[in-house]
Copies of this chain bind each other. A is one copy, B any other.
Amino acid sequence: METKQVQRVSEDADVLRADSLAREIFSEVANKWALLIINVLGTRTLRFTELRNEVDGISHKMLTQTLRGLERDGVVHRTVYATVPPRVDYRLTEAGEALRETVNGMCAWTRRYLDEIEAARRRFAARERDAEQ
């Protein structure tokens, strides 16, 4: 067994396998709050409250909870200053910044196709109305 951990078992790395590690990580990251936080952090370092203000609509609880998950996965780095009142800084790790590239892409996509999507929705609604009766 020479190539012990050199090449990871492919099953673990396949996002499409329900029980793979890749799927687990993907599921944790692929939700709006995590992605918005990553997007907002960017290359900056933000405090908890700043983050809360930037990601409009997120609750105190979801912010801590999501940050904890991202910290656990090494996507964000958390720095605690032993001051009073306490101060906690959040910034992306290298992995986080890499992920941010694609997240930016998603945000840009949303802006880019906003009008087309709105139009598609109208067409869909119209077709639905025709369909019934």
Give A residues with C-beta under 8 Å from B. Answer: 8, 12-13, 15-19, 21-23, 25-27, 29-32, 35-36, 39-40, 54-57, 71-75, 95, 98-99, 101-103, 105-107, 109-121, 123-124
| A27 proximity list for chain B (CB < 8 A) | 32
Q: A39: which of B15, B21, B121 is its contact (CB, 8 Å)? A: B15
Q: How many copies does the complex hold?
A: 2
Main secondary structure of the interface of A (DSSP, over half): helix
| A116 proximity list for chain B (CB < 8 A) | 74, 95
Cα-based distance from A21 to B71 in the complex (angstroms): 29
Q: B95 and A99: CB pair below 8 A?
A: no
Q: A110 and B16: CB pair below 8 A?
A: no
Q: B16 and A56: CB pair below 8 A?
A: yes
